[in-house]
Amino acid sequence: MWGLGVLIPLLGACALRVSQDPGELQVVAGDEVALGCRVLVTEPWDLLRLEWVKDVGRGALCATRLHPTALASPPHCAPRLHLAWHPPRATLSLRQAQGDDAGRYLCRVTLEI
């Protein structure tokens, strides 16, 4: 029988690092905004889920699944948003920023097994 002690080292075997830039940005209404997310995985992977969320706790603004050898699946994005994937960087672009676009944006990446 397998115990949890065996599973814990296996779960940590593939390190995933995600960084965002810019950290903070002030924008004038009508501007186009580009937010970057750099995804580094130290081991081979089969599938990543990448989502951009605004003000954590709400649903995803943009989401896609990424395969290492194939193009990204078409992203599902809110209006005025565009998601681009150029490994190892994902960019969320917002066209014609408006007052209600203000908030905290988070790039959330999940390594699927």
Distance between CA atoms of residues 38 and 28, nearest Å: 25
Residue 23 lies in a domain: no
Query: How would you list the strands of the sheet with 16-21, edge to edge?
Result: 16-21, 33-41, 89-94, 81-86
Residue 97 lies in a domain: yes
CATH number, domain at 52?
2.60.40.10
Residue 14 lies in a domain: no
Residue 75 lies in a domain: yes
Confidence at residue 6, expressed as pLDDT on a 0 to 100 scale: 38
Confidence at residue 22, expressed as pLDDT on a 0 to 100 scale: 87
Residue 22 lies in a domain: no
Domain total of the chain: 1
Give the pLDDT confidence of 80-110 residue by residue, as tens digits: 999 998 888 999 999 999 988 888 999 999 9
DSSP notation for 12-47 = TSS-EEEEEE-SS----TT--EEEEEEEEESS--SE
- Domain range for 105: 30-111
pTM to 2 decimal places: 0.78
Residue 12 lies in a domain: no
List the chain pLDDT tens, one digit each, 113 residues: 333 333 333 444 558 899 999 888 888 889 999 999 999 988 888 899 999 999 877 789 999 998 887 766 678 898 899 999 888 899 999 999 998 888 899 999 999 87
